[in-house]
Amino acid sequence: MKVSSLLQPYLNAPLPDGVEEKLAQYLELILKWNARTNLTAVRDAEGIVRRHFGESLFLGGLLPEFSTLLDFGSGAGFPGIPVQLIRPLSKVTLAESQGKKASFLREAVRSLAIPSDVWAARVETMPESKTFDVVAMRAVDGMAAAIAVAVSKVRPGGQLALMLGREKMDLPEDFNWADPVAVPGDGGLILLGSRN
């Protein structure tokens, strides 16, 4: 299976050198861990590449330049790890409160030799002063309540990136929201808001 050909609809530029190999390594790790820990409901390699890697890389291509990104409710590392791979000079924090998933994220960061941090606790427990250029959320349980917490982690002038299905959601008012962008394939939407 050639990862790059499956990802083609999601990319606005070719993958940087070495990223395809890292994605293949990441995929192997997910498949291995998913056999004993429920990291993702998507079990097949092609589905993981399209659904998780593709959507995450698509978001990464939409984001403006940033230094820091918080992946809120990272799960198995989406969108944070694929974004980190294509934005190697940035610093991504993977926030995941479930112990087994946080352990997986630590192993993925170590195996892939990427500069991401793992915050193995609820985002609410982060120091109040810790804010980010971008806070990204994808398929987080209790999305509406989580958005309220996420807003407090976006620095002034920063971005809130929401990856949603087609559900309607009340959006924070102190952000300028761009028009929703449809994700190729599944019909999900990405909403990008700039904090005033």
Strand partners, 132: 154
Structural domains in the chain? 3-195 (3.40.50.150)
78 is in an annotated binding site: yes
Q: What is the pLDDT of residue 88?
A: 94
73 is in an annotated binding site: yes
The answer to whether 145 and 170 are in contact (CB under 8 A) is no
In angstroms, how far is the first alpha carbon of the chain from the final one? 44
122 is in an annotated binding site: no
132 is in an annotated binding site: no
Q: What is the pLDDT of residue 1?
A: 63
d(CA 122, CA 179): 30
Q: Which residue has the higher pLDDT, 47 or 95?
A: 95
Across the chain, what does the average pLDDT equal? 91
138 is in an annotated binding site: yes
Query: What sign does the CA torsion over 114, 81, 108, 149 have?
Result: positive
For the segment 65-88, the average pLDDT, to the nearest whole number, is 96
For residue 151, the one-letter residue type is: V
Q: What are the helix (H) ranges across the chain?
A: 3-7, 19-34, 45-47, 55-62, 80-86, 99-112, 143-151
The answer to whether 192 and 134 are in contact (CB under 8 A) is no
Chain segment 137-184, per-residue pLDDT in tens: 987 778 888 999 999 999 999 999 999 876 777 888 899 999 999 999
